[in-house]
């Protein structure tokens, strides 16, 4: 039984866990980076302990020390950097704490892309042609030629769009191989790579949510479409995935269950596929954690995934059967990030000068920010997630357009103008889009200035009067007196 839970994650996912824990009567403890002092999730936790670690690896010891001091029963990493760290999961168990996530061996198998491919093959699920290239360049190049160019070089322990390169021709292979190995070693502590045939971008990214317990029960909670991506990172997700016929949808769900059972999976996780235009699909990876996009699944099923994770981590059996799960309506999630869509989605930073959120039936906002808090360049650019659930996809997109129009965040650029652009694209609106959707993305001029200028000026003035502008995050882009005088958009607002 879990009565007190330590959170070693931050932002909106930490706050998401806290909300469910309150409903379950579970106390929460936040282990947080000191620069997050005053953030909503820190204030919402029942207890809070700042930590100084600059990396996930160095944070492990500090997190376990906080767990001992706070006398917690369990530790939840959310989808933070410790979420898919098998060594951390094992260390939690060795120290006497329940890890809210899958068992260490399931994390190892799913996190290692080659072992995950083997599990998929054993489960009878198709994988993309490819394999491990060995250590030598010539051996690697021979395998690449055998697969056929263009090929993908991928980090064995990669994720989040990092540690991956497309190589179009043999002469570019050696340099790309060195780059991926170096990036993988730096990001994941392992420089091992493997090769896959590159299937192009006229293909869809579909994933299936699975949920298991420690008693051998595994369910699926439907599928999600995740083909709106920039730099191989998702920006918009929806459930159910559009453009699938009933037979293909069922095949994908059964394939996901087969892989989860092959791995002995015992928590919330996601099995990911690429789906070609002719209906053929291929397993690509499994994420052994709760996903950023889990709210769209919660919306259409009515199931609290965080509650289920905590329940099964404590040894509880799944109270659901597959036949109990019903899918109602359509849900879409928009990731609201501190990024400038006018500048290739370059990450932004600063302090939130003014903040207003949309409300109404079928609208949910999972947010990690509030007025006055800093968006640090040290962390992921995700600020909030707008989730819209309606009876149909058409109604969900219409409601999303209004909700995005009501969202206000001033102090640094966000990708909201991109989402407005997306909702106007015919391919997205009719659900026929694939990974090629953003290949030629360029924000039209009218979207560059689709902002309430008086609100911008009011936010800047309020910031200056409150003295917030002087307390910027490192590398911030907080509105300043210079910016008021020189930024044409703010100057226009000042002129009224």
39-64 per-position pLDDT tens digit: 999 999 999 999 987 666 678 999 99
What domains sit in the chain, N to C, each tagged with a CATH number? 4-100 (3.40.50.20), 129-197 (3.30.1490.20), 204-448 (3.30.470.20), 453-495 (no CATH)
pLDDT at 351 over 60: yes
Confidence of residue 265 (pLDDT cuts 50, 70, 90): very high
Q: What is the 3-state secondary structure (H, E, C) of 388-454?
A: EEECCHHHHHHHHHHHHHHCEEECCCCCHHHHHHHHCCHHHHCCCCCCCCCCCCCCCHHHHCCCCHH
pLDDT at 317 over 50: yes
pLDDT value for 446: 61
pLDDT tens column, 83-113: 999 999 999 999 999 999 999 999 999 988 8
Burial 392-422 (b: 16+ CB within 10 A, else e): ebeebbebbeebbeebbbbbbbbbbbbbbbb
pLDDT tens column, 164-217: 999 999 999 999 999 999 998 887 878 899 999 999 999 999 999 999 999 999
Provide mean pLDDT across the span 119-124.
97
pLDDT value for 1: 87
Strand bridging mode 204-212 / 74-76? unpaired
pLDDT value for 75: 99
User: CA geometry: angle at 249 spanning 245 and 250, to 5°?
Assistant: 120
Provide mean pLDDT across the span 336-360.
94
pLDDT value for 196: 94
Confidence of residue 134 (pLDDT cuts 50, 70, 90): confident
User: CA geometry: angle at 111 spanning 386 and 152, to 5°?
Assistant: 85
Confidence of residue 458 (pLDDT cuts 50, 70, 90): very low
In residues, how long is the chain? 496
Strand bridging mode 4-7 / 27-33? parallel
Integer angstrom CA distances of residue 89 from 52, 106, 107, 259, 342: 21, 10, 9, 21, 40
The strand order across the sheet containing 4-7 reads 47-51, 27-33, 4-7, 74-76, 98-99
Half-sphere exposure of 188 (CA within 13 A, CB side): 28
Provide mean pLDDT across the span 348-358.
94
pLDDT value for 496: 34
Among the ranges given (135-144, 360-369, 427-436), the one the predictor scored with the smallest mean pLDDT: 135-144
- CA-based nearest residue to 383, from 397, 365, 401, 395: 365
pLDDT at 456 over 60: no
Provide mean pLDDT across the span 111-123.
94
Q: Reply yes or no: is the peptide bond before residue 378 cis, omega within 30 of 0.
A: no
Q: Average pLDDT over the chain, rounded to whole?
A: 89
pLDDT value for 56: 66
- pTM of full prediction above 0.85: yes
* Percentage of the chain exceeding pLDDT 70: 88
209 vs 202: CA distance, rounded Å:
23
Confidence of residue 304 (pLDDT cuts 50, 70, 90): very high
Provide mean pLDDT across the span 365-393.
95
- Hey, which residues are catalytic here? 289
Provide mean pLDDT across the span 435-448.
80
pLDDT tens column, 7-47: 999 999 999 999 999 999 999 999 999 999 999 999 999 99
pLDDT value for 57: 67
């Amino acid at each position: 039984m879990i009565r007190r839970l330590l959170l070693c994650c931050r932002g909106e996912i930490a706050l998401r866990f806290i909300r469910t824990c309150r409903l379950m009567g579970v106390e929460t403890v936040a282990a947080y980076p000191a620069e997050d002092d005053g953030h909503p999730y820190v204030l919402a936790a029942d207890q809070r302990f700042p930590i100084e670690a600059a990396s996930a690896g160095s944070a492990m010891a500090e997190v376990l020390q906080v767990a001992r001091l706070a006398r917690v029963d369990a530790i939840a990493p959310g989808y933070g950097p410790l979420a898919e760290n098998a060594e951390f999961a094992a260390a939690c168990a060795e120290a006497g704490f329940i890890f809210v996530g899958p068992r260490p061996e399931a994390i190892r198998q799913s996190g290692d892309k080659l072992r995950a491919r083997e599990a998929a093959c054993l489960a009878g699920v198709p994988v993309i042609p490819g394999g491990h290239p060995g250590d030598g360049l010539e051996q690697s190049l021979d395998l690449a030629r055998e697969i056929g160019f263009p090929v993908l070089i991928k980090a064995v322990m990669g994720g989040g769009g990092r540690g991956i390169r497309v190589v179009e021709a043999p002469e570019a292979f050696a340099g790309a191989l060195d780059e991926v190995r170096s990036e993988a070693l730096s990001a994941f502590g392992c420089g091992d790579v493997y090769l896959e045939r590159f299937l192009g971008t006229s293909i869809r990214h579909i994933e299936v949510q699975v949920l298991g317990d420690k008693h051998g029960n595994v369910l699926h909670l439907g599928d999600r479409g995740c083909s709106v991506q920039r730099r191989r990172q998702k920006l918009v997700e929806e459930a159910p995935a559009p453009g699938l016929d009933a037979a293909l949808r069922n095949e994908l769900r059964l394939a996901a269950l087969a892989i989860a059972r092959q791995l002995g999976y015992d928590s919330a996780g996601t099995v990911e596929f690429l789906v070609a235009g002719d209906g053929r699909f291929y397993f690509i990876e499994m994420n052994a954690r709760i996903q950023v996009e889990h709210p769209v699944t919660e919306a259409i099923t009515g199931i609290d995934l965080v509650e289920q994770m905590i329940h099964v981590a404590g040894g509880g059996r799944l109270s659901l059967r597959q036949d109990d799960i019903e899918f109602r309506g359509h849900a879409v999630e928009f990731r609201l990030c501190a990024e400038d869509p006018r500048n290739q989605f370059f990450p932004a930073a600063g302090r939130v000068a003014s903040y207003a959120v949309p409300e109404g039936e079928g609208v949910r906002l999972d947010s990690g920010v509030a007025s006055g808090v800093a968006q640090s360049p040290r962390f992921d650019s995700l600020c909030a997630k707008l989730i819209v659930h309606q009876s149909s996809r058409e109604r969900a997109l219409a409601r999303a357009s209004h909700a995005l129009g009501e969202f206000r965040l001033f102090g640094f650029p966000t990708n909201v103008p991109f989402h407005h652009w997306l909702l106007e694209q015919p391919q997205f609106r009719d659900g026929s889009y694939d990974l090629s959707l953003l290949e030629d993305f360029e924000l039209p001029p009218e979207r560059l200035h689709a902002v309430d200028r008086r609100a911008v000026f009011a936010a800047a003035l309020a910031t200056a009067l409150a003295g917030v502008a002087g307390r910027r995050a490192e590398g911030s882009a907080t509105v300043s007196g210079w910016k008021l005088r020189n930024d044409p958009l703010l100057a226009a607002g000042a002129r009224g």
